[in-house]
Amino acid sequence: MVSQLLGRERERHIVEQLLVAVQAGRSRALVVRGAAGIGKTALLEHLRDAAIASRFRVETSTGVEAEMQFAFAGLHQFCAPFLDRLAALPEPQQRALGTALGSRNGPAPDKFLIGLATLNLVAEAAEHGPLLCVVDDVQWLDEASAEIIAFVARRIDAERLAIVFGLRNADGGGQPGAFSHLPELQLTGLDHTAARTLLSTAFRAPVDEAVRELIIAEARGNPLALLELPAHVPAARLAGGFDLPHLPDVQERVERGFLSRYRELPAATQLLLLAAAADPTGDPELLHRVAAELGVSAESSAPAEMAGLIDLGTKVRFRHPLVRSVVYRSADAPNRRRVHGALAAVIDAAHDPDRRAWHRAHAVSGADEAVAAELERLAGRARSRGGYAAAGAFLRRSAELTPGVADQTRRALDAAHALHTAGESETAVELLAIAERGAPDPLQRARAALLRAQIAFHRTRGTDVPQMLLDAAATLAPFDPLLSRETTLHALDAAIVGGSPDIVDIARTALAAVRAERPRPVDLLLDGLAVTVVHGYTAGVPAVRVALDAITAATRPEAVREEGSEPWLWVAGRVAVGILDDERAHEIADRNVRAARTTGALAALPRALNLHANILTISGELTRAGELVAEAESLTESMGVAPLRHARAMLAAWRGDRPTVERSNSLALTADGNLVGSAQSAFAHYASAILHNGLGAYSTALDAATATCESAELSLSTLGLPEVIEASVRTGDTDTALRALERLSARVRASDTPWARGLEARSRALTSSGPAAEEGYREAIRQLSTSKIAVETARAHLLYGEWLRREGRRHDARQALRSAYESLSEMGAAAFAQRAARELHATGERARQRSAAQSDGLTAQELQIARLVAAGATSREVGTQLFLSPRTIEAHLRNIFRKLGITSRRQLRDLRLDARG
């Protein structure tokens, strides 16, 4: 191994420094990436040796190509050394991890709750000393395991833990995307000097200088290629330089070398080696039983060990992952079936039914209903553990083995659904085609139509998707009316969010559909939205309010949760803003986040956090909103998915942060699938309107606000109207202001909340003069002060103060402007606060600079942790809520105490944590 690290001084220093950081209490994650044979495994071996020498606990696991279809197989390997710590986890985490690993029964847990359990499991192990976890060949991990282990690597912080991955450069392998956004060390070829030294060390026979240089050049510094060449190229061919060897692609050349050695082995040894390649467990005892089943002596392995292809110790290990691939792929079909049959015969069906069935499925030739049925049954078991990729793989093979057309259609369709859920939409489309070529019954055709629409929504979100969803809802109606209604709501919301031209037609179809005798909250929400789209805002508000009442009642902790309410809280929260019901908006947004946290539904949490952040932002709680935005961004980064940008843009707009707004809007407006008229486009315009009204760039604000109001998204078209009115009045466009005021007044009469009445009074005051204007501003302040939307109250004070100054009432103006400045500064609405400061200065008074608060030095995450701890939460409880380990929370607390100049949780509870931005 030492020779393989020639020329790797920089790489050795990087991995050794990683260990130093961990010893100092800072967790680290690293992906060692490179081509096959480039030296990843050798570097990981060096890291392991260095860690052991530094008194680290070291645990290793390896992805195996043959295991990619087994849900959580890689996670089982990763967690197995730590399962003695399982009892230390909270019960929900124990249950989630136990269910995933097959040791407990129960409903499929959220995969990121499994991730939190895994994080806390390894953190518990790291409590007793620094820990290094090495995971090699992660491109061959099953998808579920890859996502969870990568999530854990992104969430580690202060656990005295390092997780290091070996990942082959993408060449058709497995899950490299799951490990994006982690620190990387890219291995390239050795330099000429190191390559020459390595070749000389590996091949001591004379080599013509020209041939040596050719080998070094074409090997491109790949250590494995340089080491393997002497094993399969005769020295005589290299010595004279007359017969230059053919040097194909490095990986191909290495594979040919391994294949040549493999084919020189005795037939019995080849068969035993094939059995080892087909079994990913690496269990020597199992291999002995397979040898007996095949009628092969266990001693037949000796020639393979002598050839340097395999090592039989406590585990069966191949010389290199390419050896396993070469052995399995080069075998003929009869021998592969024979080996799989032997494995199926010796595996204990009670202990490992999945692997037994999988081997059995690959031991048969042609159709076999018995095996197909067993695979279908085990697919259900895999699905119940959250292993949709495994369920899809089992069902796909089951369909291939099914002799009957009807059964094949059913299994192919089930496989397509499972694989789409697992994120393998391309394969799902292929299986849909197989199902549709059969003889699907009407229900199956309906399910296929729904899946096609869902795949299209997931992949493109094009303007044709809402109609596809609506068509699927129509075909489902006779068979599953409840799912049909939910699909119709999905279609209508997709049309609204995407800016589809079919919105009204979809809404009319929804209204014409047969209603349920006992409508669920989701049915009421569909009715309310459809009425609003078809008959207008005024007609729709009463129906929407009934739906919101039902949704909030159904999701209260003390209520029995009705099916179909929780998944639509995100839509309901937006609708509540659209009818200017601040009480309902806050309640629904808060409950949405609580539900995601309680159930561990981390995949849904970022969107819930963004909704809540937006509502907190328009309420003036910018600091709390910033905490939620930071948490959402941290989570999406941990999950390896694209962040939701609108909450960051909204927050930046109210803070007057032009660069962040422009950067966020540029990304949002150029994103794939973001069409003109879409909600995402309107959101960007709304953020721009807020920013520029705050900065006093009213012409730009008017253009942005006008575009916002054209959205079919209820919340945006409503919130945009006051911005249009303010900007148009300031630019002298009275006609535009009056038209917008007329629209706003109609909506206010329908919604009739303090928030609505306050916005109308303020907007009417802007378009008025004399006593009418003053009365309007006073009424706006009175109404808005009774709502939760404090930032609009402060803006009303600002506008009133500006009007008073223009009226020459400087003393009265100072009072209003001082109130506006202090409130807006406290909130962190910097641009509007600066507007107030300028106006105050014009009255002859200088605005007092706000004094620094103790909490100003805290990051958004630290402030969130401080609030939770001050409210009495333990480190474990905070960690569970924020998907961090307790040790990481403790490390943050130490920083918080240092920054605040305190030493205990008690002192933290006594502080008034500043709510400013």
Give the residue from 177, 107, 106, 105 showing the smallest Cα distance to 138.
Answer: 177
**Beta-ladder partners of 134:** 60, 164
Band of pLDDT at residue 675, cut at 50, 70 and 90: low
Q: What is d(CA 510, CA 488) in angstroms, rounded to the nearest whole number?
A: 7
Which of 228, 293, 305 lies closest to 269 in space, CA to CA? Answer: 305
Q: What is the pLDDT of residue 917?
A: 38
**Predicted pLDDT at 860:** 84
Nearest C-alpha neighbor of 189 from the set 162, 223, 218, 229: 223
How many other CB atoms are there within 10 angstroms of residue 484's CB atom?
21
Weakest-pLDDT range from 1-10, 69-78, 369-378, 830-839: 1-10
Residues 6+ apart with CB under 8 A from 652: 660, 661, 664, 687, 691
Structure tokens at 683: 């959101």
Angle between helices 790-806 and 605-619 (to 10 degrees): 30
Of the spans 407-416, 858-867, 868-877, which averages the highest pLDDT? 407-416
Position 252 scores a pLDDT of 73
Q: Which residue has the tokens 């139509």?
A: 449
Range 403-431 average pLDDT:
88
| Separation CA 757–CA 755 (nearest Å) | 6
Q: Give the residue among 131, 121, 189, 118 at the shortest CA–CA distance from 164.
A: 131
Per-residue pLDDT of 612-623, as tens digits, reads 999 999 999 999
The pLDDT of residue 856 is: 65
pLDDT at 190 over 90: no
User: If DSSP codes are grouped into helix, strand and coil, which group holds residue 331?
Assistant: coil
Q: In terms of DSSP bridges, do strands 28-34 and 184-186 run parallel, antiparallel, or are they unpaired? A: parallel
Q: Which residue has the tokens 């090997």?
A: 219
Buried (b) or exposed (e) across 39-78, using 16+ Cβ within 10 A? bbbbbbbbbbebbeeeebbbbbbbbbbbbbbbbbbbbbbb
pLDDT value of residue 861: 87
- Same CATH fold assignment for domains 3-186 and 854-910: no
Beta-sheet pairing, 310-312 with 316-318: antiparallel
The confidence score (pLDDT) of residue 913 equals 61
Of 1.10.10.10, 1.10.3720.10, 3.40.50.10800, 3.30.70.330, the CATH number of 854-910 is 1.10.10.10
Cα–Cα dist 429/435, whole Å: 10
Higher-pLDDT residue of 557, 737: 737
Task: Please give the Cα distance from 711 to 577 (Å, whole number).
Answer: 14
Regarding predicted confidence, which is higher, 318 or 771?
A: 771
Q: Which residue(s) pair with 133 in the sheet?
A: 59, 163
Angle, helices 250-263/321-330, rounded to nearest 10 degrees: 60
Q: Which pair of tokens denotes residue 656?
A: 């007057």
Question: Which region among 82-86, 365-369, 387-391, 416-420 has the lowest average model confidence (pLDDT)?
Answer: 387-391
Segment 369-374 shows an average pLDDT of 93
Find the mean pLDDT for residues 808-821. 94
Q: What is residue 319's DSSP assignment?
A: S
Superfamily of segment(s) 3-186:
P-loop containing nucleotide triphosphate hydrolases (3.40.50.300)
Enter the DSSP assignment of 381. Answer: H
User: Where do the structural domains in the chain lie, given as residue ranges?
Assistant: 3-186, 192-247, 262-438, 444-578, 653-732, 752-850, 854-910
CB 723 within 8 A of CB 705: yes
* Count of CB atoms situated within 10 Å of the CB of 131: 24
pLDDT over 70 at 469, yes or no: yes
The two three-digit tokens of residue 113, written as one number? 């709750």
Residue 214 has pLDDT above 90, yes or no: no
* Each residue's pLDDT tens digit, 294-330: 999 988 999 999 988 998 888 888 877 778 888 988 9
Confidence band for 648, pLDDT divided at 50, 70 and 90? very high
Which residue, 100, 96, 111, 101, is CA-closest to 603?
Answer: 111
Structure tokens at 437: 């070529």
How far apart CA 686 and CA 678 sit, in angstroms, is 12
Helix/strand/coil for 824: helix
**Pair 205, 199: CB distance under 8 Å:** no
Q: What whole-number distance in Å separates Cα of residue 517 and Cα of residue 520?
A: 9
Give tens-digit pLDDT for 246-304.
544 556 777 777 888 899 999 999 999 999 988 877 889 999 999 999 999 988 999 99
| Cα dist from 530 to 454, 482, 507, 575, 769, whole Å | 21, 17, 5, 12, 40
Lowest mean pLDDT among 293-297, 560-564, 781-785, 852-856: 560-564
Q: Minimum mean pLDDT among 65-69, 295-299, 542-546, 693-697: which range? A: 65-69
- pLDDT over 90 (residue 403): yes
Residue 497 contacts residue 679 (beta carbons within 8 Å): yes
- Phi and psi of 391, rounded to 5°? -60, -45
- Residue 459: count of CB within 10 angstroms of its CB: 14
pLDDT of residue 916: 40
In this structure, how many other beta carbons lie within 10 angstroms of the beta carbon of residue 908?
20
pLDDT band, very low/low/confident/very high, at 883 (cuts 50, 70, 90): confident
What is the separation of C-alpha 719 from the centre of its chain, rounded to a whole number of angstroms? Answer: 30
3-state secondary structure of 161: strand
Asked which of 511-525, 533-547, 770-784 is least confident by mean pLDDT, the reply is: 511-525
61 strand-pairing partners: 135
Q: And the tokens for 593?
A: 């986040």
Highest mean pLDDT among 313-317, 527-531, 881-885: 527-531
pLDDT of residue 204: 63
- % of the chain exceeding 90 in pLDDT: 53
Query: What is the average pLDDT value for the chain, to the nearest integer?
Result: 86
More confident residue, 293 or 100: 293
pLDDT of residue 774: 96
Question: Cα dihedral sign for 413, 571, 110, 427?
Answer: positive
Both tokens assigned to 141? 């991990």
Report the relative pairing of strands 310-312 and 28-34 from DSSP bridges: unpaired
58 beta partners: 132
- pLDDT confidence tier of residue 205, bands split at 50, 70 and 90: low
CA neighbor of 608 nearest in space, from 644, 641, 581, 638 = 644
* Among candidate residues 364, 339, 343, the one with its CA nearest the CA of residue 270: 339
For 208-218, what is the mean pLDDT?
Answer: 67
pLDDT at 231 over 60: no
8 A C-beta contact, residue 832 and residue 839: no
Residue identified by tokens 């999406």 is 636
Gap between the Cα atoms of 885 and 311, Å rounded: 38
Task: Give the mean model confidence (pLDDT) for residues 481-497.
Answer: 92
In order, the DSSP letters of 605-661 are HHHHHHHHHHHHHHHT-HHHHHHHHHHHHHHHHHHT-PPP-HHHHHHHHHHT-HHHH
CB hemisphere CA count around 474 (13 angstroms): 11
Residue pair 679/499 in contact (Cβ under 8 Å)? The answer is yes
**Dmax (CA) of the chain:** 107
Residue the block writes with tokens 């940008």 = 645
Q: What is the pLDDT of residues 687-701, one digit of tens each?
A: 999 999 999 999 999
Residues 6+ apart with CB under 8 A from 146: 63, 74, 138, 174, 175, 178, 179
**Alpha-carbon gap, residue 401 to 379, rounded angstroms:** 14
pLDDT at 792 (0 to 100): 96
Is residue 609 within 8 Å of 631, Cβ to Cβ? yes
Question: In a 3-state reduction of DSSP, which class is residue 168?
Answer: strand
Predicted confidence (pLDDT) per residue in 331-354, tens digit: 999 999 999 999 999 998 888 888
Residues 518 and 481: their CA atoms lie apart, in Å, by 12
Query: What integer pLDDT is reported at residue 233 of this predicted model?
Result: 54
Per-residue confidence (pLDDT) for residue 562, from 0 to 100: 40
Q: Are strands 184-186 and 310-312 parallel, antiparallel or unpaired?
A: unpaired
**3-class secondary structure, 337:** helix
- CB–CB of 790/615 below 8 Å? no
Q: Which residues contact 399 (CB under 8 A, 6 or more apart)?
A: 372, 408, 411, 412, 415, 431, 434
Does the pLDDT at position 244 exceed 80?
no
pTM of the model: 0.76
pLDDT at 566: 63
CB environment 93-106: b (16+ within 10 A), e (fewer): bbbbbbbbbbeeee
